[in-house]
Amino acid sequence: MHVRENIKTLLPYVPGKPIEELERELGLKEIIKLASNENPLGASPKGLEAAKKALTGIHLYPDGSGYHLTGAIAERHGVARPQVVLGNGSNEVIEIAARTFLAPGDEAIYSRHAFIVYPLICKAIGATGIEVPPLPDLGHDLEGIAAAVTSKTRFIFLANPNNPTGTMFPQSAWKKFLGRVPADIPILVDEAYAEYVTDPDYPDPWKDLAAGRNLIITRTFSKIFGLAGLRIGYAVSTPEISDLMNRVRPPFNANTVAQAAALAALSDEDFVRRSREVNVRGLRYLRAHLEKLGLKVTPSWGNFILAGLGRPAGSVYEALLRKGVIARPVGVYDLPNHLRITVGTQEEIETLVKALSAVLGTGA
């Protein structure tokens, strides 16, 4: 059997450890998972209700066009329905976008420490991923990314805020960047954590998309809407790009239950507001307490925070596991001395801080 070299050497995406697995391994109860940037308040109640109702229809194929959901998303963002592309999580629309534009040998650019799916998908396609060093705060260096453009560049990935660093690039850097990058290169702006951002400097690529720029903006229902297990996300792009992406999109990729839940969750403003408030308070608490423990904290605009331990994170991660707390080691992101911690409920993050304090105190 002939297996392509780029597939043979592809490393699989490693998800956060599931709670059940840790329960089985260590016989622990009351485990806290702060490893996958999930919503600690659970699912949007409106979304959950709609999901239950939609179960009666699962003997039928989903609406392949996602009529109601794409309509609601289009209305929310002030775009036309055909500009919306649904995905099995935003992960899938990111992959669809990349596969729409990249062929083996093409170059795609992203930042070092950017969301790991960008290098993974480039490798799977056989495209050359060009990794640009980050700014000193670990954020995307948009000037560096613009300078890395060559005649072979066919795609640029940006995450704002980025995972796992939590960093945000501001409107001023974004505007300069757009001025420097040739307009025919599609730029994907991954806004998985956008709803958490309260900073007035957060860029507005939606205006640039409306002005006709070749952008693909991706969003998800996995984070602030609390629907990670249903797998539903979307991209909004120009009519031309969305049409191309819809040709690449697998049939029925957004399932019935997910479409119904997402539609209801989209208008669950109360839940979104509460989730944002819990996150703002949690981020502040975590940052202050992690700094008190002597850790180097990267300011975050997401629902998680990156903590630099100043030494390899493996033993600290393991010791936390034994105390029933799952954090996320980020060695695969070239950050072997860091842990990423999701903002849980106040109770959960207090438990994490206590556990971490004990672990660091014992020199684990």
Note whether 222 binds ligand PMP by CB under 6 A. Answer: yes
CB of residue 91 to ligand PMP, shortest distance in Å = 3
Asked if 220 interacts with ligand PMP (CB under 6 A), we say yes
Query: Restricting to residues 128-157, which ones interact with ligand PMP according to CB under 6 A?
Result: none
Judged by beta carbon, residue 83 or residue 91, the one nearer ligand PMP is: 91
Nearer to ligand PMP, 192 or 320 (CB): 192
Q: Compute the distance between CA of residue 114 and CA of residue 107 in angstroms, rounded to an integer.
A: 16
Closest CB 220 distance from ligand PMP, rounded Å:
3
Place of tokens 């049939």: 251
Q: How many CA atoms lie within 13 A of 76 on its CB side?
A: 19
Q: Does 38 bind ligand PMP (CB under 6 A)?
A: no
Work out whether 95 is an interface residue with ligand PMP (CB under 6 A): no
Q: According to the binding rule CB under 6 A, does residue 233 interact with ligand PMP?
A: yes
Name the residue type at position 174.
Answer: W
CB of 292 to ligand PMP, least distance (A): 27
Give the span between the Cα atoms of 158 and 33, in whole angstroms.
27
By CB under 6 A, is residue 91 in contact with ligand PMP?
Answer: yes
22, 35, 120, 159: residue in contact with ligand PMP (rule CB under 6 A): 159
Handedness of CA 320, 326, 327, 333 (dihedral sign): positive
Helix (H, G, I), strand (E, B) or coil at 60: coil
User: By CB under 6 A, is residue 89 in contact with ligand PMP?
Assistant: yes
172-191 residues in contact with ligand PMP (CB under 6 A) are 190
Per-residue buried b or exposed e for 28-45, using 16+ beta carbons within 10 Å of the residue's own CB: eeebbbbbbbbbbbebbe
Applying CB under 6 A, does 353 fall inside the site for ligand PMP?
Answer: no
Name the residue whose CB lies closest to ligand PMP. 89
Residue with tokens 């801080």: 353
Distance CA 258, CA 17 (A): 23
Question: Which residues are within 8 A (CB) of 289 and not within 5 positions of it... i.e. 6 or more apart?
Answer: 349, 353
CB of 127 or CB of 258, closer to ligand PMP? 258
- Cα–Cα dist 125/121, whole Å: 6
| Site residues (vs ligand PMP, CB under 6 A) | 37, 89-91, 115, 159, 163, 190, 192, 220, 222, 228, 233
